[in-house]
């Protein structure tokens, strides 16, 4: 196991006038054994960052260390990492056992050692009864577990995951998330896990790096990122529906935005001190709760309410009071938290 250190990490593609900088100086210290999620929209540089840690992309500037050793110029094989991709590409003609054993055979481990490691990984991943099968005889979730098994048997210092769950359906994704958490509890291997899915990030991360356009917007626990977003980007990206950002609400100062999450607005009686009178546009029933889409002057406002409360009709006036301790303010020009 190993800590990972990123110092002023930069990535540029191309040279001269055609240069395209895609990572703009990322700094992050990951502790030994931590599970870190790198989250952000498509194209923000998540895979590039991960591939630089893996050694699959050159580093244009800065330093990456694994276990206290600078790895900038080391080949992937010398970095003691194992990677799991979205497209896990098992060898179709090999059994599950051979798929997991393949890398170890190449590394010339003894037959006994290989069997011990594969059996142990198969036990952790509950693949023991499937070892003689070919990939085509497995479900999508089982194949993904074999891909993880292939990484586990290497006993690396670091696991790198690049959107490994994106090809699975919603139910299987949720189940595999739990398995990955269990795996991390059992093995405690330092992990970087890339996803564009904020729910996946919130549920898996011990700490998360939120990326936007090659810039690290925030690095914190899910609680910190959710409850104290560093910017309007983080406030909108994490949480569904996103945080309301109001320009014109009562009491908003010029040059600032007022943020309030949909669940931090209480529906109150008309005339309640501090209440806002919003106009209802549409209402969505999501089972246990209702999302009430309103506007407050020119600002859009979403209110999350319990399903049991009566459903307001479009054009009705809804009186809502923000919970004062849940209000956030952001600089309107920079988007940074104030
Ligand atoms: N080989 C490459 N050459 C030039 N640009 C690239 C290359 N690979 C990725 N990029 C660009 O780098 C940016 C980040 O890509 P990527 O790391 O794949 O994003 P993500 O994984 O967050 O979706 C994108 O704008 C992408 O077009
Ligand atoms: Mg990617």
User: With DSSP H G I counted as helix, E B as strand and the rest as coil, what are the percentages for the chain, rounded to 5?
Assistant: 30, 35, 35
Q: Which pairing describes strands 328-331 and 256-260: parallel, antiparallel, or unpaired?
A: antiparallel
Per-residue pLDDT, 252: 86
Provide the token pair at 114: 């290989």
Ranges in the chain, pLDDT < 50: none
Do 293 and 282 contact (CB within 8 A), yes or no?
yes
Residue among 19, 48, 49, 86 to mutate when testing ligand 1 (max atoms within 8 A of CB): 48
Whose CA is closest to atom 6 on ligand 1? 13
For the entire predicted model, the pTM comes to: 0.93
How far, CA to CA in Å, does 253 sit from each of 67, 259, 330?
Answer: 48, 12, 10
Per-residue pLDDT, 85: 84
Per-residue pLDDT, 306: 87
Ligand 1 closest atom vs CA 211? 22
Per-residue pLDDT, 300: 97
| DSSP state letters, 83-150 | EEESS----TTS-HHHHHHHHHHHTT--HHHHHHHHHHHHHHTT-GGGTTS-GGGS-HHHHHHHHHHH
Ligand 1 closest atom vs CA 51? 17
d(CA 338, CA 328): 8
The pLDDT tens digits of the residues spanning 180-224 come to 998 899 899 999 999 999 999 999 999 999 999 999 999 999 999
Ligand 1 closest atom vs CA 48? 17
Q: Show the ligand 1 pocket: residues with CB < 6 angstroms.
A: 13, 20, 22, 40, 42-48
Give 304 Cα–ligand 2 centroid separation in angstroms: 32
Radius of gyration in angstroms for the set of CA atoms belonging to the chain, rounded to a whole number: 24
Per-residue pLDDT, 140: 85
Per-residue pLDDT, 1: 74
């Amino acid at each position: 196991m190993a800590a990972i250190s990123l110092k002023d990490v930069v990535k540029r593609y191309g040279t001269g006038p055609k240069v395209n900088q895609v990572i703009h100086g990322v700094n992050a210290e990951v502790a030994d054994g931590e599970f870190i999620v790198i989250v952000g929209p498509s194209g923000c540089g998540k895979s590039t960052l991960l591939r630089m840690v893996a050694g699959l992309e050159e580093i244009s500037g800065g330093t990456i260390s694994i276990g206290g050793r600078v790895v900038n110029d080391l080949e992937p094989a010398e970095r003691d990492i194992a990677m799991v991709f979205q497209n896990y590409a098992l060898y179709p003609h090999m059994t599950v056992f051979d798929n997991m054993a393949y890398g170890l055979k190449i590394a010339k481990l003894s037959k006994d050692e290989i069997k011990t490691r594969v059996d142990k990984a198969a036990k952790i991943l509950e693949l023991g009864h499937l070892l003689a099968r070919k990939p085509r005889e497995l479900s999508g979730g089982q194949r993904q577990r074999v891909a993880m098994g292939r990484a586990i048997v290497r006993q690396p210092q670091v696991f790198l995951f690049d959107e490994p769950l994106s090809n699975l359906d919603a139910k299987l994704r949720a189940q595999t998330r739990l398995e990955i958490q269990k795996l991390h509890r059992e093995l405690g291997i330092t992990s970087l896990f890339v996803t564009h899915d904020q729910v996946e990030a919130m549920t898996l991360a011990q700490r998360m790096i939120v990326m936007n356009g090659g810039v690290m917007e925030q690095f914190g626990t899910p609680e910190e990122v959710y409850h104290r977003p560093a910017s309007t980007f983080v406030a909108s990206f994490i949480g569904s529906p996103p945080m309301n950002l109001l320009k014109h609400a009562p009491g908003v100062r010029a040059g600032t935005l007022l943020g309030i999450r949909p669940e931090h607005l209480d529906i109150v009686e008309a005339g309640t001190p501090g209440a806002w009178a919003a106009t209802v546009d549409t209402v969505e029933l999501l089972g246990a709760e209702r999302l009430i889409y309103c506007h407050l002057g020119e600002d859009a406002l979403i209110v999350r309410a319990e399903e049991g409360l009566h459903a307001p009709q479009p054009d009705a006036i809804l009186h809502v009071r923000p919970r004062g301790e849940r209000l956030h303010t952001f600089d309107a020009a920079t988007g940074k938290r104030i």
